[in-house]
Structure 1
Amino acid sequence: MFDIRPQPEPLPQSLLDRAVLAEPATIGHFRLRGFPAPVIRPIVPVGRVAGTAVTLCLPAADSTLLHHAAGLVGPGQILVIDRLGDRHHACLGGGVALCLARAGIAGVIVDGPCADPHEIRACGLPVWASGISSITTRVQGIGGAMNVPVSVAGAVVMPGDLVIADEGGVVVLPPDEAEADIERAIEMQSVEREMLPGVSQARPLGTISGATKLVVAKLFVR
């Protein structure tokens, strides 16, 4: 059975434009939820992307719904694929990646392996996955779901969430929390850029960050 639900409301372009200025690793300084495990990595070197999450659940070796979804997605979206525990079959290879790239989507996050990294590189589609596999899914017509809550390497993703991804990782933010977290991250990055040039032997990092003061306050003196 296939369960296809309506497409999520697109996030404002102004929010996406700000989101690509915020590093997931910076958001990781103050947020604990929404981070897939580090096994999810870019297949090829990529820049930072941001988009509205469109979710898929693909069972076992069946990629029927992914082929169908390639005709439903478009610019401003990031396809997030829950492989429902399958760690052997690559649902995304060069051909599917090329079709998704031509659809204009911002990227793909897969909780499982991909195939054909050289072809993915050639078509320019940003892809994050758990690795590479030579055994692929097939069009079997078993079933699947689109735009339902999914899990990707331990992170819950709802259709319509904001996804930010770069070479440092992936973060998923609920729309009602996204703007505040983005602005906080951008401000932290600005402070860090201003702070780091001032680090020196005379003024070490621990002094600037306050870490040395905390250590001295709890220092065990023999």
Structure 2
Amino acid sequence: MFGVSDIPKFFLAFFLVLPVISFLHEAGHVFFAWLMGGKNIKVTVGSGDVVFRLGMLEVRQYYFWYGQCTFDNLRYNHRLANVLIFAGGSLFNAVSAVAVVYLIESGRLESGMLTYQFTYFSLYYIFFALLPMPYPDGNHSDGKIILDWVRNKGQAAEKTYCVQWNEEDAQWQVLDHNQNLVEEFADETQALEKAHEVARRNRPSRLLSSEGGQEKEVANYPRVPL
């Protein structure tokens, strides 16, 4: 039963153990995103104003709540790659929890409140990460995204944006996934900048460049693992 003496333990778990578990979770996403050739990898721990940045890591004011990993331009942007990336967070949580249990069982680590909270909240984190459900803000759980990829719905969810040259108007056109005109530019660089902005904002997406009937992928922007 929860009593007054358990309150300090609760705060210890909330402000110390949970952020560590969250960081390990994001590290799992990062590892597989890097393995699949992802670029511009960035990890955000917490929410609110930015406290500091260190390389790819960004720590925010409320460091104990929320976390996400962003990356662009996967070299291997296929079903298995995406399943591994989104399962990576829970996999790292599971491996770290099993490692702690093994160290305790082998007598190399002393069992205590911190080890109990670490293993307990790791399993808690894994459960809710893999539970296939949509979130109110429009994001999806890792489990929901994994399920979509297993069902071959992941690729179908991608929006394709295109920059192409229009001979009649002598303009570079930015087209959305429905081939509707977003904006026209005389300069190709400006058109690409606008297309990158739109595609990045509407993940998951791909950006193509088309000229003379030839299409090539310029960038891809996968979903953001939480």
Decide which structure has greater helix share: 2
Q: TM-score range by the shorter chain?
A: under 0.3
Provide TM-score, normalisation by structure 1. 0.24
Decide which structure has greater strand share: 2
Provide TM-score, normalisation by structure 2. 0.23
Higher relative contact order (CA 8 A, sep 6+): 1
